[in-house]
A and B are shown apart, each in its own frame.
Chain A
Amino acid sequence: MSGLVVDVVVRRGDFEVAAAFEADVGETLALVGPNGSGKSTLVAALAGLVAPVHGRIELDGCALDADDVPSVPPERRPIGVVFQDLLLFPHLSALENVAFPLRARGVDRSTARRRAQELLERLGVGPRAGARPSELSGGEAQRVSLARALVARPALLLLDEPLSSLDVGVRARMRELLSEELARFPGVRVFVTHDPVEATSLADRLVLLEAGRVTQIGTPEEIRAMPRSRYAADLVGLNAFRGRLESAGEGVGRLVTDEGELTVALPPTYEGGEVIGLLRPVDVTLSLEPPAGSARNVLRGRVTSIAVDGERARLRIASAPPLVAEVTLGSLERLGLCEGAAVWASFKALEVQVLVD
């Protein structure tokens, strides 16, 4: 079959990553996970720089790694890589860096340089062809690195945190460029990120990786509808409470987490045990006085951070358990909230969606 098939166990020191996923030709897959979840280890394994302990990596029907045959060495894999630290060759000019993959594969000098120059032009860094990597800005270096990954027309484009090293201002423009280049790249595209915006805006599907294991695979919509871990919920902007569900009588349940308790509606198929409670930040009501409404969950805590995004503000509240609440800028001003302020947060038991873990 065409596309990428991965089912491997990779070890680096004491750390082990076990991952299985597939990506079709023309599809963009994001490997998403917190720091130390094993994303870069997987990239190294795909690129052939680390051999899997066992398992398969297959690209367009060819086994790159398999238990019964020797691995294909990195230099013979049809893969273009943008490394997290770019790893441009410091002793070569931008043009020579981009021509490198062609020259290494035996393409003659003038053809290699012409194709490298064309690609640099397309990515908007043509005039910087003669510059050394140390003379390039972060955005320019990123473009040169992308050109180097694309130039040999690989079957798989592999990008490790392609935007993380950039300033916020440059990042938006680069994300746009990356989105165009991903769309026009004819093969399989896989990129690694820990940024929710990048993941959901650039990828068709996400592979969530936590502590060396795949915890969820799906489209951003699928994950938003049913995040299977606290990290996944965080990624799509939901509060997630992992804990033990206990019955508190007459359709009411108590969700006991390590950080505090919540009252939730008891699902009809209640069997007890480990569950995840999900709560949308917009469902949290904030007030300065103890609320007198019907909400069963009333928590108090200090505001630890406020992030403003357009007309809305997201507040982190150090309650037990901790919460993220979302309010309009108007409400924020009316309540006069700032970081460090004490606040009451309330929400109905029904607003907590309980998923069996």
Chain B
Amino acid sequence: MGSSLRRCRTPLGFGLLAAAGILVIGLPIVGLVARTPWGRFVPILADGTAREALRLSLVVATSAGVLSLVAGFPLAWVLARASWPGASLVRALVVLPLVMPPVVAGVGLLAAFGRRGVVGSWLYEAFGVQLTFTTGAAVLAAWFVSFPLAVLALEAGLRGIDERLEGAAAAMGASRGYVLRRVTVPLLRSQIAAAFVLAWARALGEFGATITFAGNLQGRTQTLPLAVFERLQTDQDAAVALSLVLIGLALGVILALRGRFLR
């Protein structure tokens, strides 16, 4: 043989650029850990407003995750299975919140659900309901930004299912509802879990849309990211400590999804 296989060597330039990338991601985390006031860590978290922000964050993220699944499954099904005019337009619309600046999302939500918004004014006049500055508004903002991730994960999952299995189930006497409960959903189990975790994580970190649409009210709309932002101006140690909590939660998400991202 004339040529023999040579081990593929990493070009020097690639190595340097890759190292720079690792530093960009790694240094802020190292910095956070280094700056964490370990001595005050427990008192900061034990503080009433911090605990309240953590509780609120979990409530908001979990509600947004559940809503994304409940509304996302039918939408993903329609996108994956039905052929209808405008499907690609709707898919583009669904993806929009992913690439839209969150503050713009907040302004949009205000324009729709604010007291003088398209739907909000009607809600206020007909039922006396005002959404802005409520926990509901924080949930709505988090749902808005996390929904696309859930829909995309579920749609990919639905496309991956062998539809002939569902046909076989029908031929075995299963009604559509039974096929959905006993075949489709069980086959999608891991994608449903992934959709929930992705949406939950995105909702947990939401800042721009929340502060624009729901405001920054302790105990009602001040989630952890908003609390971090506020502490940054008054108590940097507290901001760092709360940030570390958010990183801890994010790490938990990666572990939960380890089958997908880690080998």
Contact = CB atoms under 8 A, between A and B. Distances in A.
Nearest to A81: B171
A124 interface: no
A49 interface: yes
B174 A91 contact: no
B199 to A, nearest CB: 24
B182 A85 contact: no
Contacts of B103: none
B187 A75 contact: no
A48 interface: yes
* 9 A-B pairs with least C-beta separation: A104-B174, A87-B168, A101-B172, A74-B170, A104-B173, A47-B171, A105-B173, A74-B171, A91-B186
Contacts of B168: 81, 83, 87, 89
B172 A148 contact: yes
29 contacts: A47-B171, A48-B171, A49-B170, A49-B171, A73-B170, A74-B167, A74-B170, A75-B172, A75-B175, A81-B172, A83-B164, A85-B164, A87-B165, A87-B167, A89-B183, A90-B165, A90-B187, A91-B187, A91-B189, A101-B172, A104-B172, A104-B174, A104-B175, A104-B178, A104-B182, A105-B173, A148-B172, A152-B172, A152-B173
A79 B187 contact: no
B169 A89 contact: yes
Interface in B82-130: none
A9 B255 CA distance: 55
B169 A104 contact: yes
A351 B168 CA distance: 50
Given A89-B165, A100-B169, A75 B186 contact: no
A346 B175 CA distance: 63
Question: Size band of the A side of the interface?
Answer: 20 to 34
Given A73-B170, A87-B165, 6 more contacts: A49-B170, A75-B172, A101-B172, A104-B175, A104-B178, A148-B172
Most buried by A among B167, B168, B173, B182: B173
Contacts of B173: 75-76, 101, 104-105, 152
Interface in B172-207: 172-175, 178, 182-183, 186-187, 189
A328 B200 CA distance: 75
Contacts of B170: 48-49, 73-75
Contacts of B174: 75, 100-101, 104
Interface string B62-89: 0000000000000000000000000000
Interface of A: 47-49, 73-77, 79, 81, 83, 85, 87, 89-91, 100-101, 103-105, 148, 152
B80 to A, nearest CB: 19
A83 B174 CA distance: 16
Nearest to B186: A91
A66 to B, nearest CB: 19
Contacts of A79: 171
Contacts of A48: 170-171
A74 to B, nearest CB: 4
B130 to A, nearest CB: 46
Contacts of A103: 182
Contacts of A91: 186-187, 189
A262 B42 CA distance: 100
A85 B182 CA distance: 20
Interface in B9-52: none
Nearest to A74: B170
Nearest to A148: B172
A208 B172 CA distance: 27
B192 to A, nearest CB: 13
Contacts of A87: 162, 164-165, 167-168
A240 B171 CA distance: 40
A90 B161 CA distance: 11
A353 B171 CA distance: 46
Contacts of B183: 89
Nearest to B189: A91
B77 to A, nearest CB: 19
Most buried by B among A74, A76, A105: A74
Nearest to B178: A104
A73 B170 CA distance: 8
B175 A100 contact: no
B172 A49 contact: no
A74 B173 CA distance: 7
A60 B261 CA distance: 55
